[in-house]
Structure 1
């Protein structure tokens, strides 16, 4: 079955309209849209899917797209791409760089939509080679962790058939031509936490009459660095990042409050709960030590679940990818500390649906070769990664990224 799926995938992608797909990618890259504002992107995807013969719905979960292609008896396979961009100012210098100030496709979702479009069109054109049902999903708001849950909550699986398997992928730094699969945990959970430190404001010349929340926030940020290093066992992967501090309006005014925004990454609920408890304790302690007039507000915000591949599903997809791309192209890097909301598409009242999620490396050859280091991991750490203002996937990944989705789907649709 793996061999037949691989051969069929290569046949269906042998004559892809590469210039048109590259034009689509460049257009999407020039016009990035933030989470739940992906109107132009969604319209472009929906238009291509309709033209390919899919029953297409827009506005699912806000700005999501869902499209169905029924093609006889067989399983239902869901292919997903996320569509949103980030509030990042682009510094790539590309001729097709973002035309929107302060917004950039710094995570590769424009490439994901291009891959999904090419795969959906190729599978529709070659429907005489497979049987079953395709459910193609353009998902909004992955970056904020909202989109998958919004689509499911908006009746995705009531309006469309429940999939038997879900497939998704992500552009990642690394030399072009590698496909990273992990049969099990592949991405971590992520939790945003907001802390408001309440002080007593006043004139900068009379600090003795105030309780300075800026100084308290500074101590808090420093103390938070001990949560992972001193409270979490070394065998437990965990990350705590303070991403934003905001306080004050002028040089000589001591403000009444300071805001600290942070993010934690964990690979188990136990470690997550322990870290949140430690953050609450440390925040309360630092504020009490400073004599703050009230306890801090600690709010747990957006949360991404862990992404755990179904081993049998991932082995099956990795096997067909190995057939398509050849020996040495499939690697298992182990779980990453990055996070995704893809797993929320697999939540169903009948139980969790099986899925495979993998990475497609996309660093241009000249950038990779110029990066310092002698081995894969040293260079990996040195090249621009996701969320960097310099992140610029190589256009040569357009065809491989289409083939990964096509071959993954055909692993189930070729009988």
Structure 2
């Protein structure tokens, strides 16, 4: 019996269990690093199958290490577990029971699917080579979960030779997978800026220093950085996502707070974006008479696919799904994924796996009406198991 038949039999055996697990996780979303209930549910499911694991890695992270019968390389498989601060509007029977929190990015799908993969690999371990390190990670949306787990020893004992990350993709047909040959996600850095002026009566602006006008001027200047400071062949984005200032319509605001993000593939471009922002702010101090204070988050690196690992992954994916179901993307994403902290240390590949729903027109994550196709679970369990087993040397 070939390996794909064995995987398929296991998926058929546990399929309903994994759907139920996903729905339990979906009903109780948690945010950031504080995903302890989600981790507990996953650990309990693993223990029910007799699978040992280590919890509380980097906080709420869970790690499973499964060894095959024969020696071989180790591959790391990672799924995220955290939700988002949104109130769900799907109307599903298993919708979030936590007001203001929702699995609007499908991390519940990822965590349930990887739990299924753990059960499959555990069941077949007597016929496998190498070893498998399965990682259930908190804090992807906050971009601090992977790093926390790495600092807690994730990438040692054993050291993986490769890593595989994945994400459901609601614009991609269920049953398909997609990749970019080089770039999966851009690097990024967030900034927080406070402008301070002098408050006064709106009827006498000449006696005040208007931070709202200064903020508006600065935001418009930001939009010239990419078009006039960065080479057109170098992708870059600057976005201001939040602005707060003022207390009343007839008072010149003394302070304005802004926050946003810078994104680029090339780390040198990110550095230039930051340097240019600082230059513009120095000019703003002179031209608009405001004072500024700016701080930056830690820079997240770009997520790049390793060519050699990608070749192996694509060969296996095409063998399983068919050439027409393995899609090369025209471009990577300017979004950010903290799996990049892993991929910057270990040869890695990141895949999109189709979750397009026939019952929904929603083709984007991070929406209150996000309702992906649960058939994703079946496909993801089969695909991730097959890719991992092939990599470690079964086929």
TM-score tier by shorter-chain length is over 0.9
- The match for 2:295 is 299
Q: Which stretch shows the higher mean deviation, 247-256 or 306-315?
A: 247-256
Question: What is the CA deviation profile of residues 7-30 of structure 1, one whole-angstrom value per residue up to 9, with x for unaligned ones?
Answer: 5543443x2422221121122112
* Residue of 349, 360, 383 corresponding to 2:353: 360
Q: Secondary structure at the match of 2:72?
A: coil
Post-superposition offset of 1:80: 0.7
**TM-score under structure 1 normalisation?**
0.88
- The match for 1:308 is 304
Post-superposition offset of 1:263: 0.8
Q: How does 1:73-112 map to 2 (within 5 A)?
A: 73-112=71-110
Q: Secondary structure at the match of 2:297?
A: strand
Distance 1:114 1:224 in 2: 41
- The match for 1:146 is 144
Distance 2:349 2:27 in 1: 30
- The match for 1:163 is 160
Question: 2:7·2:120 contact (CA, 8 Å) conserved in 1?
Answer: no
Q: Secondary structure at the match of 2:227?
A: helix
Q: How does 1:297-336 map to 2 (within 5 A)?
A: 297-333=293-329, 334-336=331-333
Relative distance call for 1:278 and 1:205 in structure 2 (3 A) is same
* Residue of 268, 271, 274 corresponding to 1:270: 268
Q: How does 1:391-410 map to 2 (within 5 A)?
A: 391-410=370-389
Question: What is the CA deviation profile of residues 310-342 of structure 1, one whole-angstrom value per residue up to 9, with x for unaligned ones?
Answer: 111112112211121123000110322121111
Question: What is the CA deviation profile of residues 18-46 of structure 1, one whole-angstrom value per residue up to 9, with x for unaligned ones?
Answer: 22211211221121111011011111112
Q: Secondary structure at the match of 1:53?
A: coil
Distance 2:221 2:383 in 1: 45
- The match for 1:25 is 22
Where do 5+ consecutive residues of structure 2 fail to align?
A: none
Post-superposition offset of 1:6: 4.3
Q: Secondary structure at the match of 1:303?
A: coil
Post-superposition offset of 1:5: 5.2
**TM-score under structure 2 normalisation?**
0.93
Distance 2:163 2:108 in 1: 20
- The match for 1:66 is 63
Distance 2:303 2:260 in 1: 21
Q: Secondary structure at the match of 1:215?
A: helix
Q: Secondary structure at the match of 1:412?
A: helix
How many residue pairs get aligned? The number is 391
Q: Are residue 389 (structure 1) and residue 365 (structure 2) matched?
A: no
Distance 1:412 1:67 in 2: 18
Distance 1:120 1:183 in 2: 27
Q: Secondary structure at the match of 2:260?
A: strand
- RMSD, aligned CA: 2.0
Post-superposition offset of 1:358: 0.4
